[in-house]
Amino acid sequence: MITTNIAESVNAMLIDEREYPVASIFNSITKKFDEIFRERRAYGLKCKDNKFFLAVEKILRDNMSEGDSFYSENISGDKRQYIVFRSGCTTKVDLLERSCSYRKFDLVKIPCVHVMTALRLKHGEDYSLRVYDYSSPLYKVEEYLLAYSESINTVPLESEWHVPLELLDVNIIPPFVFTKLGIKKKCVKGVGETFKSKRRNKCSLCKRPGNKRTTCNNNKS
């Protein structure tokens, strides 16, 4: 399950662990994330011959290929701002500000098809060597490997814990919690509003309110 909320994604991944004891929860979480880290490290090592990891390299190639069919014009004399024409639509690209009116480049920090067209006009046919300068350094292989380089250690059994002597006799008391009583709210009449009185039961024999059939004098023979 993948959502735009990272917390929701993690919660969906740890549904079963919610029923575990505390130590087992942490160990299960550790194991899952350790597996993810190992998989990501192995993937990063496969990309060590590239500047960016493989998924981003593919995106760059696809964007360059699609951008070759577009046309662009430099609208500033300093080769900073460009207008890209595509199927009757126009997109504004600012290479200095690293922005594109299509907004995809601004969000993912990878040159989109419009930026590729502008780079081709600015740098010529060898612009493919410059696309890395306009991409976020977070996509570099070394940055990717660094993000997943740490190891995650599991929680050892309680019998294997090494507790300092000065902490053995410490009695940890849970925090004092003061529970507030519920607040009773008084109903206030609005303009033109009246409260109906509570309905009182009537005896089915004498028709008097507050009386009961079982205790009514008319029921006595």
- Count of structural domains within the chain: 2
- Name beta bridge partners: 201: none
Q: Are residues 39 and 70 in the same domain?
A: no
Half-sphere exposure of 205 (CA within 13 A, CB side): 10
Half-sphere exposure of 154 (CA within 13 A, CB side): 14
Q: Are residues 81 and 38 in the same domain?
A: no
User: Where does the chain have alpha helices with state H?
Assistant: 6-13, 22-46, 54-67, 104-108, 113-123, 141-147, 165-168
- pLDDT tens-digit profile of 131-150? 999 999 999 999 999 999 88
Half-sphere exposure of 85 (CA within 13 A, CB side): 6
**Is 213 within the bounds of a domain?**
no
**The token pair that represents 137 in the structure block:** 């350094």
- pLDDT tens-digit profile of 146-198? 999 888 877 777 788 888 888 888 888 888 887 777 666 666 665 555 655 55
Angle in degrees, CA 178, 184, 190, rounded to 5: 150
**Is 189 within the bounds of a domain?**
no
What range does the domain containing 31 cover? 6-49+144-155
What does pTM read for this prediction? 0.60
Q: Are residues 42 and 93 in the same domain?
A: no
**Is 29 within the bounds of a domain?**
yes
Q: Are residues 109 and 59 in the same domain?
A: yes
Residue with tokens 């660094």: 146
